[in-house]
Amino acid sequence: MNVPIGSGEPDSSELAPDLSQVLTLRGVRKSFGSNLVLRSVDLDVAPGECVVLIGASGSGKSTLLRCANLLEVVDDGTIHFAGQEITHPAVDADAVRARMGMVFQSYNLFPHLSVLGNVTLALRKVHRVPASEAEQRGLAMLERVGLADKATARPDDLSGGQQQRVAIARAMVSNPTVLLLDEVTSALDPELVGEVLDLLTELKAEGVTMVLNTHEMGFAREVADEVCFLHDGVVHERGSAAEVLGAPQQERTQAFLSRLRL
């Protein structure tokens, strides 16, 4: 149930989702059996903003992104996306997902399709864009990620970094309202991480709204407008990268970051 913004009740107006945000999570709760992963997560993502989720393995970063993308059904709480409550049971999840780009650790490209075929597949099948227009948009997107010369190649002929850039192109080609990125460099050899992070830094500079989780703290410092540390099913500490990564206030955040630096 929406609480009207500025209703004069400080408590509820503080909690009310701000519909000018791209994404707003309020009290999101998610368990798997008896494993309570997200207890009560609040999150706001403004247009053009990059929110970086950090936290120990198993703290629920992927689950949070999957809930936002409606790949998981939340147990409680609300998610608003572009002004609409998407946790409402009547919502068409496919239609919501078509307006979000999601990129995973494993790129999941179709090996039997060309790079261009992979990038244009959803445009043609989901968005019903005519083949010639889909091809034009796909090529322009491949140009943008620096892989125009690989349009006719098969994914297997590309490096991991290139394949992940194709997966990002595939997510971006439909002009999604938000890009959700789940540890997109974790499966890559160290020397291939940079090209993917550089691409994301460029997209951020172009104003693409992003929520991502990563263990690359240098990158997080560079792109994050807000860093959220997930612990014990909630955002335990949040703030600018300088605040959360540079001068964490909470003991748990400090412990997590010091473990990373070992």
Q: Which is nearer to ligand ADP, 34 or 132 (CB)?
A: 34
Separation of alpha carbons 80 and 34, rounded Å: 26
Site string (19-58) toward Mg ion, x via CB under 5 A: ----------------------------------------
Q: CB of 62: closest distance to ligand ADP in angstroms? A: 3
**Shortest Å distance, C-beta 79 to ligand ADP:** 16
Question: Residue 163 and residue 142: Cα distance in Å, rounded?
Answer: 11
Residue 34 contact partner, candidates ligand ADP, Mg ion, none, CB within 5 to 8 A by sort of partner: none
Exposure letters 29-52 (e unless 16+ CB within 10 A, then b): bbeeeeeebbbebbbbbbeebbbb
Between 108 and 249, whose beta carbon lies closer to Mg ion? 108
Binding residue (CB under 5 A) for Mg ion from 62, 69, 118, 120: 62
Q: How far is the CB of 143 from Mg ion (least distance, A)?
A: 31
Residue 162 binds Mg ion, judged by CB under 5 A: no
State the alpha helices, DSSP H only, in 2-107.
10-15, 61-68, 93-97
14, burial (CB in 10 Å: exposed 0-12, middle 13-18, buried 19+): exposed
User: Which residue's entry shows tokens 């002004």?
Assistant: 83
Residue number with CB closer to ligand ADP (57 or 132): 57
Nearer to ligand ADP, 125 or 215 (CB): 215
Residues touching Mg ion, count (CB under 5 A):
2
Which residue, 84 or 186, has its beta carbon nearer to Mg ion?
186
The contact set with ligand ADP (CB under 6 A) reads: 32, 35, 37, 55, 57-63
Question: What is d(CA 155, CA 8) in angstroms, rounded to the nearest whole number?
Answer: 56
Q: What is the rounded CA–CA span in Å between residue 52 and residue 261?
A: 18
* Closest chain position to Mg ion (CB): 62
